[in-house]
């Protein structure tokens, strides 16, 4: 399995010839094309946040067209793309910005931020509307890849009176259709930019508040053996509240951790592989001459029954082209727990469907709303006026009820 991993694209209204590194994005397409022509494949595209610069619709339209160009070159579709938001993916001019700054400070206060989120914020329709309003355009963009987070989407598109309960997820998670040998691979996308604003933590001057990644975003509800787990967010762990606690959990539950934000690539390979990716389009203001565009190809290969090799091939910008970035490249052998019962009892295997493929297949149907009342035991009433969002809500209901397999049968 090969993954193209990029971060911090920072799309603005400017055209590529007037960007920080003129022509760089066009050259990336050339690089990827040559990689494919050399007999390689890219199976997935992972984007670790800061897709836009100001979090507005026009920027996401440009980003989407660029991602489609990459998909065309590698012979993949939007089904193979996964995204998470970064601090630039919020529209900070969205309504409620003054309320958001007060909320953000509370979410950064470590002793009580989990309780504040669960007991106050998610139960108050007005407050949560103001908090998530800044992600409105990002939420639409993420829907193109089925990378919407349930809580975010519900707060943006739903009513203030809608309840947020424990079954609503602060993440998305998918089992990838391609495996590493006979080992399944999952990707979990999380939002580390929930409480971002102009007062964010700054490493240089050691000021500002840190970002909150809630327990319910990264703690697993269920765990399977023989699965290589990937988690993707924007902010590296030192930028998070309770960062050491989060790191301890992630290092013991997620084999590969992908982040962006810092603009200079670094690798932490303790109990896992943790990649702080460089930026594809970092700022260039005279003070940051060390920032250069970077992208990575991550190659995941099964070595033997219990080990997987994770290899990172990093490329960095050099005047007018990308060259090997030896400092950002890596290779590590990871142990994956086998699907064996330690008590000696045979494990029962449950056949699974490719849920992500079913969702994309459904959304391509011309008469998709006609399926709302075709599945036994599902009494679905659309809550919005937008047909697209109603269909996404329908799929979410089916997934919670374990009825996607029934939909798949109807779609055949």
Those residues of the chain that have pLDDT short of 70 are 14-19, 263-271, 285-289, 345-351
The overall average pLDDT reported for the chain is 89
pTM summary value: 0.90
Joined tokens for residue 251 = 């290092």
363 CA to centre of own chain: 20
pLDDT tens for 189-200 read 999 999 999 888
pLDDT tens for 81-100 read 999 999 999 999 999 888 99
The span from the CA of 306 to the CA of 322, in Å, is 35
**What pLDDT does 272 receive?**
86
The span from the CA of 268 to the CA of 251, in Å, is 10
> Contact, 129 vs 123, CB < 8 A?
no
What does the buried/exposed string (b/e) look like for 2-29 if buried means 16 or more CB atoms within 10 Å of the residue's CB? bbbbbbbbbbbeeebeebbbeebbebbe
List, in sequence order, every residue forming a beta bridge with 211; answer none if it has no partner: 240
Non-local CB neighbours of 362 within 8 Å, separated by 6+ positions: 368, 371, 391, 395, 407, 411
Domain limits, the chain: 2-335, 355-411
**What pLDDT does 344 receive?**
72
> Contact, 130 vs 103, CB < 8 A?
yes
Q: Which fold has domain 2-335?
A: Purple Acid Phosphatase; chain A, domain 2 (3.60.21)
State how beta strands 307-318 and 273-278 pair: unpaired
Spatial strand order in the sheet of 266-268: 171-175, 184-190, 227-232, 256-263, 273-278, 266-268
**What pLDDT does 28 receive?**
95
**What pLDDT does 246 receive?**
93
């Amino acid at each position: 399995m090969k993954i193209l991993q990029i971060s911090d694209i920072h799309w603005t209204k400017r055209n590529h010839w007037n960007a920080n590194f003129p022509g760089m994005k066009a050259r990336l397409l050339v690089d990827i094309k040559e990689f494919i022509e050399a007999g390689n494949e890219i199976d997935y595209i992972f984007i670790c946040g800061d897709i836009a610069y100001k979090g507005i619709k026009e920027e996401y339209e440009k980003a989407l067209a660029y991602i489609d160009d990459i998909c065309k070159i590698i012979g993949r579709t939007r089904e193979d793309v996964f995204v998470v938001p970064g601090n630039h993916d919020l529209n900070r001019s969205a309504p409620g910005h003054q309320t958001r700054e007060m909320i953000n400070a509370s979410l950064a206060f470590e002793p009580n931020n989990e309780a504040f989120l669960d007991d106050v914020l998610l139960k108050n329709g007005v407050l949560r509307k103001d908090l998530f309003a800044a992600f409105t355009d990002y939420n639409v963009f993420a829907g193109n890849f089925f990378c919407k987070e349930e809580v975010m989407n519900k707060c943006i598109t739903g009513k203030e009176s809608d309840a947020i309960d424990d079954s609503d997820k602060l993440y998305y998670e998918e089992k990838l259709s391609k495996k590493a040998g006979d080992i399944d691979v999952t990707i979990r996308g999380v939002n580390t930019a929930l409480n971002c604003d102009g007062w964010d933590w700054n490493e240089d001057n050691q000021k500002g508040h840190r970002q909150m990644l809630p327990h319910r975003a990264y703690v697993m509800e269920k765990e399977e053996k023989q699965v290589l787990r990937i988690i993707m967010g924007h902010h590296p762990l030192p930028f998070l509240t309770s960062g050491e606690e989060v790191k301890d959990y992630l290092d013991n539950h997620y084999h590969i951790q992908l982040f962006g934000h810092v603009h200079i690539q670094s690798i932490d390979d303790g109990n896992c592989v943790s990649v702080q990716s460089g930026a594809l389009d970092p700022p260039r203001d005279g003070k940051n001459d060390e920032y250069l565009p970077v992208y990575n190809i991550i190659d995941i290969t099964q070595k033997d029954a219990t080990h997987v090799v994770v290899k990172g091939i990093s490329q960095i910008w050099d005047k007018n082209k990308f060259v090997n970035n030896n400092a950002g490249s890596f290779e590590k052998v990871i142990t994956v727990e086998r699907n064996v019962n330690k008590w000696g009892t045979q494990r029962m295997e449950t056949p699974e469907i490719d849920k992500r493929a079913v969702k994309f297949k459904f959304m391509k149907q011309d008469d998709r709303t006609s399926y709302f009342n075709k599945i036994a035991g599902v009494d679905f009433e659309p809550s919005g006026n937008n047909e697209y969002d109603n269909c996404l809500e329908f799929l979410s209901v089916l997934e919670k009820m374990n009825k996607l397999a029934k939909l798949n049968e109807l779609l055949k």
